[in-house]
């Protein structure tokens, strides 16, 4: 019985590390004042993938392979300085717990951009984009089994 109690206590202590993912961050911050939140589910991505024609911008970009392989998109745009600080901490917990790899970081005068990915050489299972400015921040998380080549090609062309 005491071993079970010890196990339950350890589970409680570790729960904060396991709880951080795109969904939990979205649920935590959506609905707050000065926060814009967008969620697209896997079901919606499947419907989007079956649309007879996707309205693609005038450049030669094929987002169809990316759309069809996504399980979810979470977007949080926050214009509250305090919430931005908390969101930044939660994103850092998420990437460290999920063992994301820092793909790139751009530091400019008033803006820091960090991009994290997790996956293999063939596919990307998670993508996190986080921009921190003075009074606002943006968090975008793509979830799925995205072919890396298609994703990188689309990123380089879609602008």
Tell me, residue by residue from 58 to 97, as one string, x for binding to other proteins by CB under 8 A and - for no binding: -----x--xx-----x-x----------------------
Tell the smallest beta-carbon distance from residue 104 to other proteins (Å): 5
Tell the smallest beta-carbon distance from residue 99 to other proteins (Å): 20
- Say whether residue 33 binds other proteins (CB under 8 A): no
If the CB atoms of residues 135 and 152 are measured against other proteins, the closer one turns out to be 152
Give 92-100 contacts, CB < 8 A, sequence gap 24+.
93/16, 93/17, 93/20, 94/20, 94/21, 94/22, 94/25, 94/128, 95/128, 97/17, 97/18, 97/20, 98/20, 98/21, 98/126, 100/126, 100/128
State the pairing for strand pair 123-133/111-119: antiparallel
Place of tokens 């908390």: 86
> Is the Cα torsion angle 94, 96, 99, 105 positive or negative in sign?
positive
If the CB atoms of residues 113 and 118 are measured against other proteins, the closer one turns out to be 113
Stretch that binds other proteins, among 48-56, 80-88, 91-99, 117-125 (CB under 8 A): 48-56
Q: Residue 95 in contact with residue 104, Cβ under 8 Å?
A: no
Name which of residues 96 to 125 contact other proteins (CB under 8 A). Answer: 104, 106, 113, 115
d(CA 7, CA 23): 26
The residue ranges that bind other proteins (CB under 8 A) are: 1-2, 4-5, 8-9, 11-12, 15-16, 19, 23-24, 26-28, 30, 37-41, 43-45, 47-48, 51, 54-57, 63, 66-67, 73, 75, 104, 106, 113, 115, 127, 129, 131, 138, 140, 154-159
């Amino acid at each position: 019985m005491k071993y079970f109690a010890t196990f339950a206590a350890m589970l409680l202590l570790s729960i904060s590390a396991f709880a951080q993912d795109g969904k939990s961050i979205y649920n935590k911050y959506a609905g707050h004042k000065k926060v814009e939140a967008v969620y697209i589910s896997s079901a919606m991505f499947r419907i989007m993938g079956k649309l007879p024609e996707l309205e693609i911008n005038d450049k030669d970009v094929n987002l169809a392979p990316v759309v069809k392989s996504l399980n979810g998109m979470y977007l949080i745009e926050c214009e509250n300085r305090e919430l931005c600080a908390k969101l930044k901490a939660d994103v850092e917990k998420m990437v460290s717990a999920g063992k994301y790899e820092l793909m790139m970081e751009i530091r400019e005068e008033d803006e820091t951009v960090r991009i994290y990915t997790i996956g293999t050489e063939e596919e990307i299972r998670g993508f996190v984009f986080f921009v921190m400015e003075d009074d606002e921040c943006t968090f975008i998380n793509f979830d799925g089994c995205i072919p890396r080549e298609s994703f990188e090609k689309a990123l380089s062309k879609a602008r």
